[in-house]
Structure formats: C-alpha cells, structure tokens
Amino acid sequence: MTDLIKAGLEDVVISTSEICFIDGQQGRLLYRGYDIDDLVVHSTFEEVVYLLWYGALPTRKELDAHVKALAASRRLPARLIGILKNLPRKTVPMEVLRTGVSALSAFDPDERDNSREATLRKAIRLAAQMPTLVAAWERIRRGKEPVAPNPRLGLAANFLYMLSGRKPTELEAKTFDVALILHADHEYNASTFAARVTAATLSDLHSAVTSAIGALKGPLHGGANEQVMLMVDQIKEPARAETWIRKALADKARIMGFGHRVYRVEDPRAKHLRRLAAELGRQAGNTAYVGILDTVARVVTAEKHIYPNVDLYSGAAYAIMGIPADQFTPIFALSRIAGWAAHVLEQHAHNRLIRPRAEYTGPTQATYVPISQR
C-alpha cells in the first residue's frame, strides 16, 4: 500500500464537481465556469452566492428575490445573543462563530430536514446570519450592544455597518464585496473537504459548516491572513521590511500569505486584493501596510519561488478599514459559507460516504498485561 500513500492527499482526485475550477499552472479560478476576474468587475457577492448554489447566473427577478430573502434573514434569535453575552469576553472570534453556527441549528425550523429545498433555506439563513453573528460578537466583547441589521444595505455594506455602527464609504463597501466574491469558493480546500466529509455521512448543513469553520481556523488555511498582519505589525515600516524578511527566510520561517497546494504561480485572487488594499490605503493615508507587503512579496518570490496567495493582502485591506486582526478569519467564513453550502448540496445530490484508509504501522502482536503487572 505504501506506494499509494499521498501525504496530505496531494493531487488526489476523489470525485467530480461542477462548482469550481482551479488552474494551478495558469493561475485561473472559475466559479461555475465564470472567471473571478470578470465576477469582481461585474458581479456582487449575493449574485455569486446564487451562481454557486443554483449553478447559473440569475435573471433580474431571481436576483431580486434572492437578495430580498438574504436581507430578510439577517436577525439572530434573541436567545442566541444571550448565548454570546454569556461567553467569556476573551473568546477568540473564530470560536464564537463556530459555537454560534452550531447553536443556530437549534433555532432553525428546518433542522431535521435534509432535503435540497430545506438545505437551501438553511443556507440562506446561515449566509445571512453569520455576518450578524460576527459583528454582534465584536460589539459584545467591546461592551457595546449589537447593531441591528439594515435591510436596505447589501450584505457587505451591512456587515461593515453592524461592525462599527457607521455606514461604510462606497470604496469600503465595494472592497469588502469584492473580498467576499474572491473567497466564496475554492474547490476541495481543507474546510470545504471537512464540510463534504461531514455531509457525506448524511449529516446536516449546520454540522457540515461547523466542521468547516473548525478546519478554516488553522493558520495553514484561513488563519493565515491574521498571521500576515502580525508579521506586518512586527515589521512596522516599509524601510525595515527587506532586512526583516531576509532574516526570517534565513531562519527557515514559514512566511504566511505565500505558497499554495494547487497554484504554482501567483494566486489569481491576490492581485485584486492588493489593488483594493492599495486604493483604500491611499484614501486613508496608510501606504505602509501595502508597502511592507510589496517588499516581502518581492523578496520571498525571488528567494523561494513561492508566490502570494489570497491571504497576503486581504488582512491589509481589512486592517485599513479598522477591523481587528482576529476577525479576518471569521470574515473569510462569511464568504466561504457560499462554497460550503454549494458543496454540501452537491455532496448530498451524489452521495457516497467518504472513508479513506490508513496504512497501519503499529504493532500487531501485543499481549495484554494486567495493570497491576505494568
């Protein structure tokens, strides 16, 4: 069996999927056939959610109904806010999100129904409620009351509004919407795979998303964007970036925001996030973050031949908007719920239990010794 082992399941194809295509050699990413380079220019996050779940772009009427359904589902049950208020203030936002999503299933009217229609209704509620949950925790941990959602704002603008209590500028709302589009799906990444493994036992959407949030939390996956900003904070100013990063490389450190299991070139999402972070930075009078990251990117690419991934510039954009670093990974989840739900629907539609094997390398002849004789 040894020849068959692929550590980390690298390049192992376990099923077909119609949702997302990644060309790791050319650096292309398509959702249902549409290039993200086009979607960031022409689409909105809500439309991308529709595309991922229903498999085609909506008509105007379909999109209006979808946007309305999402906007109408944003409120959290009062008892869920009570659960949040009872958590220790120091609880990490990703843990709050994981706990909150798991708890939301108890309030969901379709909890016991795993049909496609019920899973779509649950997906709408989760995609609408998760931004409210993340924003509510930010307020609660600062000793403030959560801000009620504003149904007149789009999903991205409303999240920023609930987080700070102030309506975002057009550039902030657009940047956040594009960031959500760019993170919406990415084939069988670790969290989506976790969601599909859970869904493949015929478990429900909330359980699959709870599994996915746990997988996304780690620093090798969604947690990398927060780590990037910790690096930026340590570097402090662009003039120090080259020396700092050369030393980190000499110390054989893993540089967050670089490298990818699938892309052999630059992640196609990184350039959009760089452009938006730079534009926001110029407007806010903060060019240091992008300046530092540009130098880091130049040195790491030249020295290691590994390229920026989606996490390199996203945190800089969020930080310029005043969002704390430990909220970056929950924000990733607010977008990836689109992909997770699409994959759960696809898994349920063509299900087979996902159950790989291990090559056993432990002993086979152990003789039980009673505890008194050990």
165: left (phi over 0), alpha (psi -120 to 50) or beta: left
> Quick one: CA dihedral 210, 215, 218, 222, positive or negative?
negative
Is 254 a binding residue for ligand CMC by CB under 6 A? The answer is yes
From CA 247, how far away is CA 314, in angstroms rounded?
24
Is 260 a binding residue for ligand CMC by CB under 6 A? The answer is yes
Q: Using DSSP, how many helices (H) and how many strands (E) does the chain show?
A: 16, 3
Single residue of 28, 75, 139, 221 touching ligand CMC by CB under 6 A: 221
Nearer to ligand CMC, 126 or 256 (CB): 256
> Quick one: CA dihedral 222, 125, 17, 207, positive or negative?
positive
Residues that bind ligand CMC (rule: CB under 6 A) add up to a total of 19
Single residue of 47, 266, 311, 346 touching ligand CMC by CB under 6 A: 311
Nearby residues of 86 by Cβ (< 8 Å), 6 or more positions away: none
Which one, of 173, 176, 172, 182, lies nearest residue 270 by Cα?
182
Least distance to ligand CMC from the beta carbon of 222, Å?
5
Is 255 a binding residue for ligand CMC by CB under 6 A? The answer is yes
CA distances from 322 to 199, 278, 328 (A): 36, 15, 11
Nearer to ligand CMC, 176 or 258 (CB): 258
Residue nearest to ligand CMC (CB): 259
Is 246 a binding residue for ligand CMC by CB under 6 A? The answer is no
Which one, of 44, 151, 63, lies nearest residue 161 by Cα?
151
Pick the piece of the chain touching ligand CMC (CB under 6 A) from 88-96, 153-161, 192-200, 249-257.
Answer: 249-257
Active site residue 260: yes
Sheet holding 28-31, edge to edge: 20-23, 28-31, 34-35
The helix/strand/coil state of 278 is: helix
Nearer to ligand CMC, 91 or 301 (CB): 301
Single residue of 189, 198, 295, 347 touching ligand CMC by CB under 6 A: 189
Is 220 a binding residue for ligand CMC by CB under 6 A? The answer is yes
From CA 57, how far away is CA 40, in angstroms rounded?
14
**For 88, phi and psi rounded to 5 degrees?**
-60, 140
* Cβ atoms of 215 and 191 closer than 8 Å: yes
Among the listed residues 108, 272, 311, 348, the single catalytic one is 311
Residues in contact with ligand CMC, shown as a per-residue x/- string from 14 to 53 under the rule CB under 6 A: ----------------------------------------
Least distance to ligand CMC from the beta carbon of 282, Å?
25
Active site residue 204: no
Single residue of 63, 87, 171, 306 touching ligand CMC by CB under 6 A: 306
Among the listed residues 260, 272, 343, 348, the single catalytic one is 260
Is 180 a binding residue for ligand CMC by CB under 6 A? The answer is no
Is 213 a binding residue for ligand CMC by CB under 6 A? The answer is no
Pick the piece of the chain touching ligand CMC (CB under 6 A) from 60-68, 106-114, 221-229, 281-289.
Answer: 221-229
Which tokens go with 146? 């959560």
Is 9 a binding residue for ligand CMC by CB under 6 A? The answer is no
> Quick one: CA dihedral 362, 366, 372, 374, positive or negative?
negative
Q: Please list the active-site residues.
A: 260, 311
For ligand CMC, the binding residues (CB under 6 A) are 8, 189, 220-222, 224, 254-261, 304, 306, 309-311
